Structure 1
Amino acid sequence: MSQPTVVLVHGAFADASSYGPVIRQLLGEGIRVLAPAVPNRGLNDDAAAVSAVLATVESPVVLVGHSYGCAVATVAGIADNVKSLVYLAGFVPDAGEALGELQDRFAPSDLATALVPTPIAGGVDLTVDVEKFPAVFAADVDASTAAVLAVTQRPLSGAAFGDPAGAAAWRTKPAWGVVAAQDHAINPDVQRYGYQRAGVSAIEVDSSHLVMFAQPTVVSDLIRKAVTSVTE
């Protein structure tokens, strides 16, 4: 089997640069990486955008998601060339389940009171209050890095929380995951529930939501484990 390609799916309020520390480690080990832009317009539309990228990859794929990107990966991961999934501090819905429905089973996180709505044609875009962003997303990340991330957010359509997942790749694909135990953006219990239901082989780390910045080596090691499982 050919060497897998790691495809990294970023979350809401972020772009692909949120994987920067992890990408550097993976590339340094000779692992092929793609980190496409996700439109953040709606769960199934975003999954379709990622699926279009996956269709261009000739090698087996390890599909990695962070946060909202975990849900996107869950839907897009049904692609034939996706051989395993890695979930980082994220939502893992079942087919037909919306993220708002999943979240509402548990206590709200601090994100609920940090969102800033901006009306747009046909709906609402959501961002995170710049002043609250570091505490909600990046309490254990270098302050200057958190400040840059706060002012370079990629908005998420409010409709994304009500969009039922069109598929659940974890039903047929092996998966690994990281629970960020100090997450103030997605309640860690939401992560634990989704992972347990999906049979994810999960670890917990004492990390904020931005586990790729706070614990990049842990994340890289887990991705490498998924890559190894595909090549064995």
Structure 2
Amino acid sequence: MRAQQPTVVLVHGAFADASNWNGVVDRLRTRGYPVVAAANPLRGLAADSDYVRQLLTSIDGPVVLGGHSYGGSVISTAARGLDHVRALVFAAAFLPEAGESAVALSARFPGSTLAETLRPVPVTLPDGSPGTDLYIDQARFHQQFAADVPEDTAAVMAATQRPVTETALAEAAGEPAWRDISSWVLVPTADRTVPPRLQTFLAERAGATARTVDASHAVSVSRPDEVARLIDEAARATGRRSTS
């Protein structure tokens, strides 16, 4: 008999919301997995990670935790020391080492054209201090973020994107959970936001199982079958280990 199905928790990144996981959620539920697509606040790395960590601690039984883009930085921190998180799955995502930020990592290898598409909006942060929200210019969203997604779908994604604070992308990560938790990485080879060379480097550094797919940064939208398949692979592999 197969071990208890883990709950799959999915964490979106910047310029997205939880609906970007819809196709993946449908496929995982068909396979029998309970799924939660978290609403990542995108306000600051430590705060976002604490928020997701609280969600994780509310879930009974094993968890497979997935993150997209900046969501990879969040899950790397949120899962630290949580024994019931059995696997981490990174899709077009960051796997930061302690002290690294998404901004610094993006500049490590060429290939990202994100900076030139950003539209800054001055805001007041929850603590009353001045800050900056970042959006991708809607006219450039399709090519930058979701080039292999139908134009009408990309237009809706652009209109409903969630902004990330500038400080969140520049905030240094803490000790990473991928040191202690088995990890899988899906690298979209046509990613214009997180350079594929960077993703491959991060996967190798973390000792993760890596796969590639011909897709844009919005891989969870354009290639949900591949994302769900990798999550299922991670769940099955760690499920076998936990029952052996």
Same fold (TM over 0.5): yes
Residue from 191, 200, 204 that aligns with 2:199: 191
Which residue identity lines up with residue 107 of structure 1 in the other structure? P
Which amino acid in 1 is paired with 2:153? T
Query: Aligned partners of 2:183, 2:62: CA distance in 1, in Å?
Result: 15
Work out which of the residue numbers 175, 178, 181 in structure 2 matches 1:167: 175
Per-residue Cα deviation, 1:79-134 (whole angstroms, up to 9, x for no partner): 22211100000111011212222122122511110000000112100000000000
Structure 2: any 5+ residue segments left out of the alignment?
Answer: 125-129
Match of 2:212 in 1: 204
C-alpha distance in structure 1 between counterparts of 2:84 and 2:198, whole Å = 28
CA deviations on 1:170-193 (whole Å, 9 max, x unpaired) are 111110110010011111112111
**Residue 49 of structure 2 contacts residue 75 of structure 2 at CA under 8 Å; is this kept in 1?**
yes
Paired residues of 2:111 and 2:192 also in contact (CA < 8 A): no
Structure 2 counterpart SS, 1:102: helix
Q: Secondary structure at the match of 1:123?
A: strand
Superposed displacement of residue 167, structure 1: 2.1
> Are the counterparts in 1 of residues 135 and 163 from structure 2 also a CA contact under 8 Å?
yes
Q: Which whole-Å CA distance do the structure 2 matches of 1:104 and 1:206 have between them?
A: 22
Number of matched residues? 232
TM-superposition CA deviations, 1:57-99 (whole Å, max 9, x none): 0111100000110111111121222111000001110112122
CA distance in 1, matches of 2:179, 2:58: 24
Give the distance between the partners of 2:233 and 2:122, measured in 1 at CA.
43
Structure 1 unmatched runs, 5+ = none
RMSD: 1.1
* d(CA) in 2 for partners of 1:89, 1:73: 13
* Residues 4 and 230 in structure 1, CA contact (< 8 A), matched pair in contact too: no
Residue 158, structure 1, aligned to residue 166, structure 2? yes
1:231 corresponds to which letter in structure 2? G
**In the alignment, residue 117 of structure 1 is paired with which amino acid?**
P
The one of 1, 4, 10 equivalent to 1:2 is 4
CA shift, 1:2, in A, is 2.9
Is 1:63 the counterpart of 2:65 in the alignment? yes
Alignment of 1:43-54 (within 5 A): 43-54=45-56
How does the TM-score come out when normalised to structure 1? Answer: 0.97
Give CA deviations for 1:143-183 in whole Å, capped at 9, x if unaligned. Answer: 11111000001010000122111220111111011001001
CA positional deviation for 1:16: 0.6
TM-score, length basis structure 2: 0.92
Q: Which residue of 2 aligns with 1:15?
A: 17
Partner of 2:131: 123
Q: AA paired with 1:11?
A: G
1:29 is matched with 31
Equivalent residues of 2:5, 2:32 under 8 A apart = no
Give the secondary structure class of the aligned counterpart of 1:110.
coil
Amino acid in the other structure paired with 1:192: T
Partners in 2 of 1:94 and 1:158 — Cα distance? 19
